[in-house]
Amino acid sequence: MNKIAILTSGGDSPGMNSAIRSVVRCALSKEVSVVGVSHGYQGLIEKRFCDLGRRDVSNIITRGGTFLKTARSKEFYSKKGRKKAHQNMSEKGIDGLVVIGGDGTFKGALVFHQEFDFSVTGIPATIDNDIAGTQETLGFDTALNTAMDAIDKIRDTAYSMDRIFLVEVMGRKSGAIAVHSALAGGAEDLLIPEMEQSVSSVLKKVQQGREAGKKSWIIIVAEGSGKTLTLAQELREHIDDVRVTVIGHVQRGGSPSAFDRILGARMGSAAVQSLLQGKKHHAVGWFNDRPVTYPLQKAIQHKQEDFSEFIELVQILT
């Protein structure tokens, strides 16, 4: 392997820059040159290439987002688009590709590998931590801390005004941010996609709590539960002064936490090693405090998580 390309695709997440820097510098240290591709897979099709030296990735680890930019590419969904991408890489002499992103990104990489027998490695990056086969993804720890900081701030008003707050955190399919931020933020209750809890049972607990003298209440709702508005309406029919806060895109940005920067650095290093060892269709994962590699095929499956212990603990600690 003489030259690899690197791109970020799908939603951005904090720590992507740390992974890019690590891939670039680890590859260069093994005398493999690196081509940066901007705007994700679309950049492969449009030849948005730039050679990356050591200095080009200076001073980026402190920044959220991705300096290579990211995009969602419709063209890459088509065989024709992928063919163009492959041709552009061949012309440029690229013989390996590192992609950083979530499960859509990984599916694209696997198809690309299958069609052209091209060597690809995936680094999992998504604040939702919903990639199968890895305990951690880039950006989750930072997003969790951002959500927790928001909950801490909201508690100041909840406490001062004896109020009920619904706080919606990100997570389309996964309740990972919700359960972790509920536990870290000391929330009183939570609603997540993975959990059977009716809106009326939440209401009942709030009413019982208020009768017992507990006035302020923070309930974390995962975006993907789709129940924020229903719960707000239900509560408002019985209780004054219910407020809804949607933390939103703030969770996607910000300077990465130490954990995410280290994860990026170590996963980037593992990705380069994996390619150099001849693995052609692997993802880098994180297991028991170390990077591991495993087939992309496994990474694109649905991640089944059991949050029951977390949920129980949130309720005991309320």
Q: What is the DSSP string of 214-240?
A: ---EEEEEEGGG--HHHHHHHHHHH-S
CB contact set of 291 (below 8 Å; sequence gap of 6+): 266, 267, 269, 270, 284, 285
Rounded CA separation 123/104 (Å): 12
243 binds a second copy (CB under 8 A): yes
281 binds a second copy (CB under 8 A): no
Residue with tokens 């002499």: 93
141 binds a second copy (CB under 8 A): yes
Element (H, E) at 90: helix 79-91
Q: Would you say 21 or 303 has its CB closer to a second copy?
A: 21
Rounded CA separation 5/103 (Å): 19
Q: Name which position in 1, 195, 246, 276 contacts a second copy (CB under 8 A).
A: 246
Q: Rounded to the nearest whole angstrom, what is the least distance from the CB of residue 117 to a second copy in the complex?
A: 30
* 44-52, 84-92, 144-152, 223-231 -> range binding a second copy (CB under 8 A): 144-152
For 27-47, letters b (16+ CB in 10 Å) and e give bbeeebebbbbbbbbbbbbbe
148 binds a second copy (CB under 8 A): yes
248 binds a second copy (CB under 8 A): yes
Q: Name which position in 20, 221, 265, 275 contacts a second copy (CB under 8 A).
A: 265
Token readout for 311 is 């949920």
* 203-211, 219-227, 240-248, 298-306 -> range binding a second copy (CB under 8 A): 240-248
Write the single-letter amino acid at 134: T
Angle at 104 between CA 102 and CA 110, to 5 degrees: 105
Catalytic residue among 103, 128, 130, 260: 128
Q: Would you say 97 or 164 has its CB closer to a second copy?
A: 164
Q: Is 128 a catalytic residue?
A: yes
76 binds a second copy (CB under 8 A): no
266 binds a second copy (CB under 8 A): yes
Write the single-letter amino acid at 293: T
Q: Which of residues 26-45 bind a second copy (CB under 8 A)?
A: 26, 29
Token readout for 118 is 């091209």
Rounded CA separation 204/214 (Å): 13
211 binds a second copy (CB under 8 A): no
Q: Name which position in 71, 195, 203, 276 contacts a second copy (CB under 8 A).
A: 71
Binding site residues, a second copy, CB under 8 A: 8, 11-12, 14, 21-22, 25-26, 29, 59, 61-66, 69-71, 135, 141, 144-146, 148, 150, 152-157, 159-162, 165, 180-181, 183-184, 186, 243, 245-255, 257-259, 261-262, 265-266, 269, 287-289, 313, 316-317
Looking at the annotation, which residues are catalytic?
Answer: 128
